[in-house]
């Protein structure tokens, strides 16, 4: 199910500088902070407090902490069923934990995703073959309107 409201909100973050653990549009964010900020805009209060995390969190233990959190708060989707507004979870290296997030911008012949990563501001990048093959999970934002939010 396409969520253009999520894409519109994510695009307002484009140009926000990368800042580890931050989540402030126009000031600084990392990939998780981008997702948190979009959540706040769409749903209000975040579903859980995010603890401090290091740049190598989960790696020494091989713990799929981000994947578990995504499954707890987002709606799992089939990898092949792309829709604008989907949350994408990436494994950046074979055998490493999945720990990069993005939001699907466009689908079709020229797919894109919106994300923040070290050394870059929030950008909308082509979802090129090298990026696409790193996707390990796809999620949708929950529809909290049905719950009265």
- Angle at the Cα of 68 (from 89 to 92), degrees rounded to 5? 30
Whether pTM > 0.85 for this model: the answer is yes
Domain holding 99: CATH number?
3.90.1720.10
pLDDT value of position 147: 46
- Reported as a single tens digit per residue, the pLDDT across 55-107 is 666 666 667 888 999 999 999 999 999 999 999 999 988 888 898 999 999 99
Residues facing 76 on adjacent strands: 139
pLDDT value of position 93: 87
Please give the residue range of the domain that contains residue 124. Answer: 4-54+61-147
- Reported as a single tens digit per residue, the pLDDT across 22-42 is 999 999 999 999 999 999 999
pLDDT value of position 81: 95
Distance of alpha carbon 113 from alpha carbon 86, whole angstroms:
9
Domain count, the chain: 1
The chain-wide mean pLDDT, for the chain, equals: 90
Distance of alpha carbon 44 from alpha carbon 143, whole angstroms:
12
pLDDT value of position 3: 86
Q: Are 119 and 55 in contact (CB under 8 A)?
A: no
């Amino acid at each position: 199910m396409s969520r253009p409201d999520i894409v519109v909100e994510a695009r307002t973050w484009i140009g926000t500088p990368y800042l580890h653990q931050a989540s402030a549009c126009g000031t600084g964010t990392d990939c998780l902070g981008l997702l948190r900020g979009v959540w706040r805009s769409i749903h209000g209060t975040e579903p859980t407090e995010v603890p401090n995390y290091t740049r190598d969190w989960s790696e020494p233990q091989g713990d799929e902490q981000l994947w578990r959190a995504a499954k707890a708060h987002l709606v799992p989707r089939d990898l092949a069923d792309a829709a604008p507004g989907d949350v994408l979870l990436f494994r950046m290296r074979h055998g490493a934990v999945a720990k990069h997030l993005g939001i699907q911008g466009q689908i079709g012949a020229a797919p894109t995703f919106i994300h923040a990563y070290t050394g870059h501001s929030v950008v909308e990048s082509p979802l090129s073959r090298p990026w696409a093959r790193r996707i390990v999970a796809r999620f949708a934002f929950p529809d909290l309107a049905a719950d009265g939010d």
